[in-house]
Structure 1
Amino acid sequence: MTGIKTYFIKNIVIAIAVAMFFSCNNSLQKVQKIGISENEPIGVEYNSNLKYTDSGKLKANLVSAKLFDYSNRDFPFHEFTDGATLYVYDDENRKSTIVADYAYVYTDTDLIDMRSNVVITTHDNQVLKTDQLYYDQGKDWLYTNKPVSFKTEQDLINGNGFDSNSKFTNAEVLEVTGIITLEED
């Protein structure tokens, strides 16, 4: 009887140990998240200056007064609530400036989402205004499906979308709703 009792106790101890082993496999991740709500940023940075390079060459520079870091999410991102200025550089190092009231940078996709009162001023003084604009860093491409107003040297073009490389050599207003030719004084 004592052998059966010892055998039974050993089996219970082994079962408990195995249960404890398998229940602890995500404990490190859980400990790291203690005190951090998934709806809260894991950090706040003031006066941020993010630089994006390709082959050692500066391609874009995002400057903002406040950055919220949500890299603790399944789809990590950074949020800029106090305005953002994005400088985009072409191969000749000419700078175009994009200003917005609000912005997101999605870490996994290298997509910058500029929102609210977005104004682009190109290196040759063309001006585009819209409510939302995306900059795909990987493709070096700017686009939106929102209404736009694009002022070139000769025309003011209104439409429902915009598509261009960062050099603005093939800028295109989509679904044009009106073109106004400007006269010089």
Structure 2
Amino acid sequence: MKTKHILQNLAMVFTMALFFQCKNNFKEVQQIGVLQNEPVGIADHINLKYTDSGKITANLISPKMLDYSNMDFGYFEFPEGIRLILFDKDQNQTVVTSDYAVNYIEKNLIDLRGNVVLATYNKDTLFTEQLYYNEKLEWIFTDKPFRMRSTTQNTLGLHLDSDIDFKDIQILGMNDSDFQIEN
């Protein structure tokens, strides 16, 4: 009887020692089965709608999305391009398309590449090979050659920095422009 009691106590001490040696490895457990540099998720035919106070602020459409949010610097990759529709407070639409895109989650930055076209509701259109969009600031910029077409002008340049509506715009390194000046 005494031997049985000693064995039960030893088993209990051993079990308690195991519990105290456990540590929180949740991040490591999440990585089990995920190869280095592999996405944690793949989505096909996505149509994401972002809302604020019951109004749609953006609609992201893409044939494929790869989720790399498990990385130290998490991001979403859109290898087959995107169509991004942005809505202002009056629900006017600005449409951005590209052949490829990466959304850097922590930086609120989207890197758009390949045949990038941004068309505003008031008929301004920007064409370039790469464009960055800061979601939080609603700001765009590029250091690639671009063409901007509007109802009153056609501009070719090398660097553009602007708000999404082209109301506060800086163009550096203009190549060629046609302006129509009133009066």
TM over 0.5: yes
Instruction: Report if the CA contact (8 A) 1:50-1:63 is conserved.
Output: yes
User: Aligned pair count?
Assistant: 165
Mean alpha-carbon deviation: is it higher for 65-74 or for 121-130? 121-130
What one-letter code is carried by the residue in structure 1 that aligns with 2:86? V
Question: Aligned to 1:96, what secondary structure does the other structure show?
Answer: strand
Question: Aligned to 1:129, what secondary structure does the other structure show?
Answer: strand
Q: Residue in 2 aligned with 1:142? A: 140
* Cα deviation 1:101-145 (Å, max 9, x = unaligned): 000111112211111110111112221111111111111112112
Q: Is 1:164 equivalent to 2:146 in the alignment? A: no
Quote the Cα distance in structure 2 between the aligned partners of 1:142 and 1:56.
26
Relative distance call for 1:110 and 1:53 in structure 2 (3 A) is: farther
Question: Aligned to 1:115, what secondary structure does the other structure show?
Answer: strand
Relative distance call for 1:25 and 1:92 in structure 2 (3 A) is: same
Q: Residue in 1 aligned with 2:68? A: 70
Instruction: Report if the CA contact (8 A) 1:157-1:173 is conserved.
Output: no
Q: Residue in 1 aligned with 2:124? A: 126
Mean alpha-carbon deviation: is it higher for 55-64 or for 85-94? 55-64
Instruction: Report if the CA contact (8 A) 1:90-1:166 is conserved.
Output: no
What one-letter code is carried by the residue in structure 2 that aligns with 1:169? K
Relative distance call for 1:89 and 1:73 in structure 2 (3 A) is: same
Superposed displacement of residue 146, structure 1? 1.5
Question: Aligned to 1:58, what secondary structure does the other structure show?
Answer: strand
* Cα deviation 1:20-57 (Å, max 9, x = unaligned): 93xx5354432321110121101100111223344443
Quote the Cα distance in structure 1 between the aligned partners of 2:149 and 2:143.
17
Mind listing any 5+ residue stretches in structure 2 that lack a counterpart? 1-13
Quote the Cα distance in structure 2 between the aligned partners of 1:92 and 1:28.
44
Quote the Cα distance in structure 2 between the aligned partners of 1:162 and 1:57.
30
What one-letter code is carried by the residue in structure 1 that aligns with 2:66? F
What one-letter code is carried by the residue in structure 1 that aligns with 2:171? V
Q: Residue in 1 aligned with 2:83? A: 85
User: With structure 2 as the length reference, what TM-score do the two structures score?
Assistant: 0.80
User: With structure 1 as the length reference, what TM-score do the two structures score?
Assistant: 0.79
**1:109-124 → structure 2 map (5 Å cutoff):** 109-124=107-122
Mind listing any 5+ residue stretches in structure 1 that lack a counterpart? 1-13
Question: Aligned to 2:137, what secondary structure does the other structure show?
Answer: coil
